[in-house]
Amino acid sequence: MTTPFKFFAGAALLTLATSSYAQKVCVFDPLGTQGDIYSMMKDYALAAKQWGADITLKPYTDERIAAEDFKAGQCDGVSITGVRARQFNNFTGSIDAAGGLPNNNAAKAVISLMASPKVAPYMLNKGYEVVGVSTLGSVYIVVNDRSINSLLKVMGKRFGVLDYDKAEEILVQKVGAQAVSVDLTSIGGKFNNGQVDVIAVPAMAFKPLELSKGIGSKGAIVRFPVAHVTSDILIRPSRFPDGYGQKSRTWVAEQLDRQLATVARVEKSIEPRYWMDLPANDKAGYVKILREARLSLARDDVYNKKMMSILKKVRCGQEPTNFECTLTDE
């Protein structure tokens, strides 16, 4: 083989090797390229070069379309919320379970665990792999009237329920509210226009959805976490280098403090007048209703039973005297 031929053959092989590991990752961020999620994913794409990937990001402001494009093979990877990702992996998708993570310390413990090689087998499911779990913070109830300050007063109210989240629908039924179907593109508008009285969203959504319009002078954000929202990165592992998943999960876990700091900054930026504390004697009632919903959804395999056990272990590690810690049904 002549030297020139060797050169061109080598160059061709190098091109093939590089192109075989060129990937498109679809990223959901309600603020598009200006949001915190997309910003972190830009850093992620840069880090991924060290693991042999060459990632191009495609921004989406409609999460449903991002997930559908991933499912259809138009994306090699996708970054979406844990609830939406549950269809691909209900182990990590169950971290967002109702009442599963009552505070950020519990969230940090569970999300950090997702980077452990010990749980790596649970990251794979039906040709998909979860290669990163991060946090978007606690979910809070938002009301358009502060008089809706107890479980009894939620009864009969119009509650915006995400049309793809069976868990939320069951919770709303348990408190006797009227479920109104919404999605991430309509939830803010329906609340702000008075079509629904109550919604459940993370503080990260407050400004992008302009919820101050719907809250006005009478409404409030109830300072009681009813769930914890995660953001998952999923891939088709066949389109990425060998060993990519574990390296990716480790890197994402290392960004957790950064993500929690972002969540804290966003929550702090919401004016104090918008917040309302839950009456102390109502908290136990909320906890029990959230627990009943988890049990029901785990029985129906909406929530992953293994994950429910992990969440309970973390909660009881924090509060060993909690009533649920002596029970064996979760």
| pLDDT tens readout for residues 242-254 | 999 999 999 999 9
Alpha-carbon distance of 32 to 19, in angstroms, equals 27
Q: Please, is 6 exposed, middle or buried when counting C-beta atoms within 10 Å of its C-beta (0-12, 13-18, 19+)?
A: exposed
Q: What mean pLDDT comes out for the span 122-129?
A: 97
Alpha-carbon distance of 131 to 122, in angstroms, equals 11
Which residues fall within 8 angstroms of residue 305, CB to CB, at 6 or more apart?
A: 298
Q: Decide if pLDDT at 129 tops 90.
A: yes
Q: Decide if pLDDT at 6 tops 50.
A: no
Alpha-carbon distance of 130 to 232, in angstroms, equals 7
Alpha-carbon distance of 50 to 230, in angstroms, equals 25
Q: For residue 218, give the DSSP letter.
A: T
The alpha helices in the chain, defined as continuous H runs, are 3-20, 36-48, 63-71, 82-85, 104-113, 151-154, 166-174, 187-192, 212-215, 244-254, 256-269, 280-299, 305-318
Let me know: does 38 contact 3? Beta carbons within 8 Å: no
Say yes or no: do domains 21-137+228-269 and 139-227+274-304 share a fold.
Answer: yes
Q: What tokens were used for 20?
A: 């075989």
| Beta bridge partner(s), residue 229 | 137
Which residues fall within 8 angstroms of residue 174, CB to CB, at 6 or more apart?
A: 289, 292, 293
Predicted confidence at residue 71, as pLDDT, reads 97
- Which CATH code for domain 21-137+228-269? 3.40.190.170
What percent of the chain has a predicted confidence (pLDDT) above 90?
80
Task: Compute the mean pLDDT over every residue in the chain, rounded to the nearest whole number.
Answer: 92
| E-state strands within 268-321 | 275-276
Alpha-carbon distance of 64 to 58, in angstroms, equals 14
Q: Decide if pLDDT at 263 tops 70.
A: yes
What does the domain layout of the chain look like in residue ranges? 21-137+228-269, 139-227+274-304
Q: What tokens were used for 269?
A: 């930026």
Assign 62 to helix, strand or coil: coil
Alpha-carbon distance of 257 to 119, in angstroms, equals 21
With bands split at pLDDT 50, 70 and 90, how would you rate the model's confidence at 15?
very low
Question: Nearest 5°: phi and psi at 70?
Answer: -65, -45
Q: Decide if pLDDT at 4 tops 50.
A: no
Q: What mean pLDDT comes out for the span 47-73?
A: 97
Let me know: does 255 contact 134? Beta carbons within 8 Å: yes
Q: Please, is 95 exposed, middle or buried when counting C-beta atoms within 10 Å of its C-beta (0-12, 13-18, 19+)?
A: buried
Predicted confidence at residue 173, as pLDDT, reads 87
Let me know: does 307 contact 85? Beta carbons within 8 Å: no
Residue 99 backbone zone (phi > 0: left; psi -120 to 50: alpha; other: beta): left
Q: Decide if pLDDT at 3 tops 90.
A: no
With bands split at pLDDT 50, 70 and 90, how would you rate the model's confidence at 294?
very high
Predicted confidence at residue 21, as pLDDT, reads 63
Topology of domain 139-227+274-304, CATH: D-Maltodextrin-Binding Protein; domain 2 (3.40.190)
Let me know: does 162 contact 183? Beta carbons within 8 Å: yes
Q: What tokens were used for 270?
A: 């919401």
| Least confident interval from 52-61, 169-178, 212-221, 249-258 | 169-178
| pLDDT tens readout for residues 165-189 | 988 988 898 889 999 999 988 999 9
